[in-house]
């Protein structure tokens, strides 16, 4: 079987080694005579998998001991509600930086729960850039400041994070967690849907500073970080298969040399695709400004809808998948998460150059 050249934005490519490992254990994990999907979440085998995943994530991200790691469900979209429910005090405001569709949705959910303020926005510029740090207006009395670290739809990314001092910084890192080294202690809370760099869809990682976990009698149990922390993310039946695959992905990251090596490879992949855009004499136009460009999601347009349609059709015929831009803005997008091999990016680079040359030569408009 020939593997697709997978540039999907999410669910996205998984490391081939991880898939092969899961396949080898599909019917019989650790000589149990069962698939991981058949194991009790209270069994010793799954308990070991669960603890191994938590330990590996702490090791890779160098998470300090005063942080809790939770594996929850509901995706980042549920976190849009859980964050303000757990962190925003009734007499305070939650500050949000708006850099794209997902931060807009996060703000919308927070507005249903408590008082909010917009600390910065790139909306007037069609989200082509991340606001500069000195442009942000963060209140000293804010419950927290929320950012979306990488914007999959518009192809922008935070390359420097705000120093919020005593105001907790909360970040949706769904699409760039594990793509580079970060200082976790700059954040009060990090959450990430797994389906980009962590594993399959179905599990959400939450990294939260312990002093931000409070007991609250008014919150439903399933929406309380305190309840999940007390029960080690096992208050209800967890997504066992997703956590198992997540644990394999974390082992893969370690085998690759950790985040330093992963980040170097991601930078190399991104430079190659941006080179195809920047050296195309305007044939390809990137959406994001150079200082805000994402190393995970590269968004671009061609000279008109006809050219884009032809590009996507020929790309599909050549074995590429997932190059369509988000339905809300159109255009094209190449998502080059950790599991996308450099060789696939080389093939895309060659395809983009060849398509440009042929299109220009034929004079098709």
Instruction: State whether residue 287 is helix, strand or coil.
Output: coil
Instruction: State whether residue 232 is helix, strand or coil.
Output: coil
Of 102, 176, 180, 356, the catalytic one is: 102
Residue 255 is a catalytic residue: no
Residue 196 is a catalytic residue: yes
Q: In angstroms, rounded to a whole number, what is the distance separating the alpha carbons of residues 259 and 3?
A: 26
Read off the tokens for 342.
């450099």
Q: Where are the beta strands (DSSP E) in the chain?
A: 5-6, 67-72, 93-98, 115-121, 144-148, 150-151, 156-157, 169-172, 189-193, 204-209, 285-286, 297-301, 320-321, 332-335
Residue 172 is a catalytic residue: yes
Per-residue HEC secondary structure of 295-354 comes to CCEEEEECCCHHHHHHHHHHHHHCCEECCECCCCCCCEEEECCCCCCHHHHHHHHHHHHH
Contacts of 32 (CB under 8 A, 6+ apart): 39, 45
Instruction: State whether residue 189 is helix, strand or coil.
Output: strand
Of 95, 158, 172, 269, the catalytic one is: 172
Residue 360's Cβ-side half-sphere holds a number of Cα atoms within 13 Å equal to 12
Q: In angstroms, rounded to a whole number, what is the distance separating the alpha carbons of residues 18 and 121?
A: 39
* CB of 100 closer than 8 Å to CB of 107: no
Of 95, 158, 180, 196, the catalytic one is: 196
Which residues carry out catalysis?
Answer: 102, 172, 196
């Amino acid at each position: 079987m020939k593997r697709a050249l997978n540039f999907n934005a999410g669910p996205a490519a998984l490391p081939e080694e991880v898939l092969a490992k899961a396949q080898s254990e599909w019917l019989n994990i650790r000589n149990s005579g069962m698939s991981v999907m058949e194991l009790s979440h209270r069994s010793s085998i799954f308990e070991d998998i669960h603890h191994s995943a938590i330990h590996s994530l702490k090791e890779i991200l160098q998470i300090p001991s005063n942080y809790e790691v939770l594996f929850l469900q509901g995706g980042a979209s549920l976190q849009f509600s859980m964050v303000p429910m757990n962190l925003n005090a009734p007499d305070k405001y939650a500050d949000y930086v708006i850099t794209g569709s997902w931060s807009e949705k996060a703000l919308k959910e927070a507005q249903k729960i408590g008082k909010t303020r917009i600390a910065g926005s790139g909306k007037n510029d069609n989200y082509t850039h991340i606001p500069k740090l000195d442009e942000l207006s963060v209140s000293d009395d804010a419950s927290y400041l929320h950012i979306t670290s990488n914007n999959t739809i518009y192809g922008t990314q935070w390359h420097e994070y705000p120093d919020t001092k005593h105001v907790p910084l909360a970040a949706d890192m769904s699409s760039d967690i594990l793509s580079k080294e970060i200082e976790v202690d700059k954040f009060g809370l990090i959450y990430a849907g797994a389906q980009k760099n962590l594993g399959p869809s179905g599990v959400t990682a939450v990294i939260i500073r312990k002093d931000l976990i409070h007991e609250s009698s008014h919150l439903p149990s399933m929406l309380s970080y305190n309840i999940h922390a007390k029960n080690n993310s096992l208050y209800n039946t967890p997504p066992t298969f997703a956590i198992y695959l997540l644990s394999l992905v974390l082992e893969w990251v370690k085998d690759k040399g950790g985040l330093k090596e992963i980040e170097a490879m991601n930078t190399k992949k991104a430079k190659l695709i941006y080179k195809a855009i920047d050296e195309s004499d305007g044939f390809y136009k990137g959406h994001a400004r150079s200082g805000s460009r994402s190393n995970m999601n590269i968004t671009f347009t061609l000279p008109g809808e006809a050219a884009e349609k032809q590009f996507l059709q020929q790309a599909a015929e050549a074995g590429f998948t997932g190059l369509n831009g988000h339905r809300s803005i159109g255009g094209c997008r190449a998502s080059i998460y950790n599991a996308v091999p450099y060789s696939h990016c080389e093939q895309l680079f060659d395809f983009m150059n060849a398509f440009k040359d042929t299109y220009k030569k034929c004079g098709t408009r």
